[in-house]
A and B are shown apart, each in its own frame.
Chain A
Amino acid sequence: MNRMWAIVEREMRKFFRSPVLMIMSMMLPIVQLIILGNAYGGKIRGTHVAIVDHDGGPQAVKVREACDAVTANIATFKTIDYADDRTAREDVRTGKLDAAIIIPPQYSRRVYAQDAPRLGLVVDNSDQFTSGSIEDEVQSLIDALNAPVIQAPIVKTIALEVVELYPYVSYMKFLLAGSCALAMYISVMIGGGMLYIDDKARGVHEGYLVTPISKLELVMGLNIAGAIKAVLSGLSLTVIGSLMAGLGTIFHPMQMLELLVLIVGISIAFNGMMFLMMVRVDDPLVPRAMFGVLNTLLFFPSGAVYPIFAFPKWLQGIAIVDPFTYAIHGFKSILLKDGGFVAIQYDLLFLFAFGIGALLIATPLFKRTL
Chain B
Amino acid sequence: MTERAPTNPSQPVSARNGNGKPAQMAMAVENIVKRYGTFEAVKGVSFNVAEGEIFGLLGPNGAGKSTLIRMMTTLIPVTSGRATVAGFDVSKDPDAVRRVIGVIPQALTSDPDLTVEENLAIYAKLYSVPRTEREKNIAEVLEAVDLTKWRGAPTKTLSGGMRRRLEIARGLVHNPHIFFLDEPTTGLDPVSRIAVWEMLNKLKSNRNLTMLLTTHYMEEADKLCDRIAIVDHGNLVAIGTPSELKRGVPGANVVEVHFDRDTEEWRARLEKLTGVTSVQPESAGFYRVLTSSGSQTTMELVELAASLGETVTSLSVQNTTLDDVFVHYTGRQLRDEQVKPMMASWAMLQRPGDQR
**A→B interface (CB under 8 Å):** 2-3, 5-7, 9-10, 13-14, 17-18, 198, 200-204, 206-214, 282-284, 369-370
Residues of chain A contacted by B342 (CB below 8 angstroms): 282, 370
30 contacts between A and B (CB under 8 A): A3-B125, A3-B128, A5-B125, A6-B125, A7-B126, A13-B114, A200-B346, A202-B107, A202-B354, A203-B105, A203-B106, A204-B111, A206-B107, A206-B109, A207-B109, A207-B170, A208-B126, A209-B75, A210-B74, A210-B75, A211-B123, A212-B128, A214-B95, A282-B342, A284-B348, A369-B74, A369-B75, A369-B77, A370-B70, A370-B342
Q: Describe B's contact surface by its main secondary structure.
A: loop
Residues of chain B contacted by A201 (CB below 8 angstroms): 345-348
A-B contacts, CB under 8 A, total = 87
CB distance from A230 to the nearest CB of B (A): 19
Residues of chain B contacted by A369 (CB below 8 angstroms): 74-77
CB distance from A338 to the nearest CB of B (A): 41
Interface contact A13-B113, CB-CB below 8 Å: yes
B228 interface contact, C-beta 8 A: no
B339 interface contact, C-beta 8 A: no
**B→A interface (CB under 8 Å):** 70, 73-77, 95, 98-99, 101, 103, 105-107, 109, 111, 113-114, 118, 122-123, 125-128, 170, 342-343, 345-348, 351, 354
Which 10 residue pairs across A and B have the least CB separation, nearest first? Answer: A6-B125, A203-B107, A283-B345, A210-B103, A201-B348, A211-B126, A203-B109, A212-B98, A207-B109, A17-B113
Residue from B70, B95, B345 within 8 A of A282 (CB atoms): B345
Residues of chain B contacted by A370 (CB below 8 angstroms): 70, 75-76, 342-343
Residues of chain B contacted by A202 (CB below 8 angstroms): 107, 109, 348, 351, 354
Residues of chain A contacted by B170 (CB below 8 angstroms): 207
Residue from A10, A206, A209, A210 within 8 A of B122 (CB atoms): A10
Residues of chain A contacted by B125 (CB below 8 angstroms): 2-3, 5-6, 9
Residue from A6, A200, A210, A283 within 8 A of B98 (CB atoms): A210
CA A198 to CA B107, docked complex, whole Å: 13
Interface contact A6-B122, CB-CB below 8 Å: yes
CA A10 to CA B109, docked complex, whole Å: 13
* A18-B348 CB under 8 A given contacts A211-B123, A369-B75, A370-B70: no
Residue from B74, B76, B105, B118 within 8 A of A207 (CB atoms): B105
Q: Which residue of B lies closest to A284 (CB)?
A: B348
CB distance from B98 to the nearest CB of A (A): 4
CB distance from B116 to the nearest CB of A (A): 13
CB distance from B214 to the nearest CB of A (A): 15
Interface contact B101-A198, CB-CB below 8 Å: no
CB distance from B284 to the nearest CB of A (A): 42
